[in-house]
Amino acid sequence: LNPDYGMFKEYDESRTIWFNPSSFEADEHFVMIGIVCGLAIYNFTIINLPFPPTLYKKILGEKTEDLSDLAELSPTTAKSLQKLLDYSESDFCDVFCLNFTIDESYFGEIVSKPLKPGGADIEVTQQNKHEYVKLYVDYVINTSCQGHVEAFKRGFLKVVNKQVLGLFQAKELMALVIGNENYDWKVFQENCEYKEPFHKNHESILMFWRCFKELTEEQKRKFLLFLTGSDRIPARGMDSVTLTIQRSGDPNFLPVAHTCFNLLDLPEYSTKEKMKFKLIQAIQQTEGFGIV
């Protein structure tokens, strides 16, 4: 999914990605990503696929031709096009100086693509501006990447039954893949399990939860990322996230997370201050793997 590979374009403003029309990758690669997306739903696994809801609307067979669809990728571009539609003065052509083309970057070179036959010679006016906006949105969301999207959809439908999709709206389907942000830290604590000699009333466990409650909301999310590999929670909610805490040996070490099992190795620290310091150190270093 890394935009450096050329399969997708990154939209920094919305922190989403979209299919790159200039990609030379074979359709099989997009089919594979669709399969991975479908498997995430099948296995109730959260994965970081930063596609906008527009993609899931396409999977459900809904139309994607409005400015709101473009806004999910590029809010600034959508606002600019809306201002164009709202402008009613007679100097429209002098102000905007547009024709029926769209500029795109192809490997560092700006290429002008016509939105309709002869588009470079057709000026955008008050009379045809609605057609221009409609063609612009359609090009970015649909026609420029239609083959790639269809390949992705084929892969997705290899795993997810098409009839089941009718039960979901686009944002619900997206939540099944990437999770949501409906955090309930009280439920998170109540669902926690402990391995002997730890138990819910053990001094170290009571100390741990006091430290956890003192963390900022952002630090709690980082702890979730540290523990599970994602800072989002499954569509089924916090009830489906079970933390297990077991004792580890040396109190000079940091807490260790086994992300495959939501398992936390917690040393018995002598003070709450030391535990909180070590915990914050651990959650700030959430990248990479080690053999424990």
Structure tokens at 27: 């359709």
Query: What's the CA gap between 95 and 3, in Å, rounded?
Result: 34
What is each CA distance from 24 to 2, 55, 114, 162, 237, in whole angstroms? 15, 20, 21, 29, 39
Nearest to 217 by CA among 174, 188, 254, 243: 188
Q: Which residues contact 111 (CB under 8 A, 6 or more apart)?
A: 103, 104, 105
pLDDT tens series, the chain, 292 aa: 666 667 898 888 888 999 998 888 888 999 999 999 888 888 877 787 889 999 999 999 999 989 999 999 999 999 999 999 999 998 999 999 999 999 887 767 788 899 999 999 999 999 999 999 999 999 999 999 999 999 999 999 999 888 888 888 888 888 888 887 788 999 999 999 999 999 999 999 999 999 999 999 999 989 998 998 888 787 677 888 899 999 998 889 999 999 888 999 999 999 999 999 999 999 987 555 444 4
Nearest to 177 by CA among 44, 291, 29, 74: 44
**Does the global pTM surpass 0.75?**
no
Q: Which residues contact 83 (CB under 8 A, 6 or more apart)?
A: none
Helix axes 27-42, 170-178, angle to 10 degrees: 80
Tokens 């619900």 belong to 172
Catalytically active residues, by annotation: 260
Nearest to 221 by CA among 197, 188, 254: 188
Tokens 């489906």 belong to 240
Structure tokens at 99: 């024709």
Q: Which residues contact 38 (CB under 8 A, 6 or more apart)?
A: 155, 156, 157, 158, 159, 160
The pLDDT, as a whole number, for residue 24 is 80
Return the exposure string of 189-204: e unless at least 16 CB atoms fall within 10 Å of the residue's CB, then b: eeebebeeebeeebeb
Amino acid letter at 171?
K
Tokens 């939105």 belong to 115
Structure tokens at 178: 């990437």
What is each CA distance from 120 to 113, 218, 265, in whole angstroms? 8, 49, 64
Query: What's the CA gap between 182 and 67, in Å, rounded?
Result: 28
Helices H, strands E: what count in the chain?
13, 8
The pLDDT, as a whole number, for residue 246 is 95
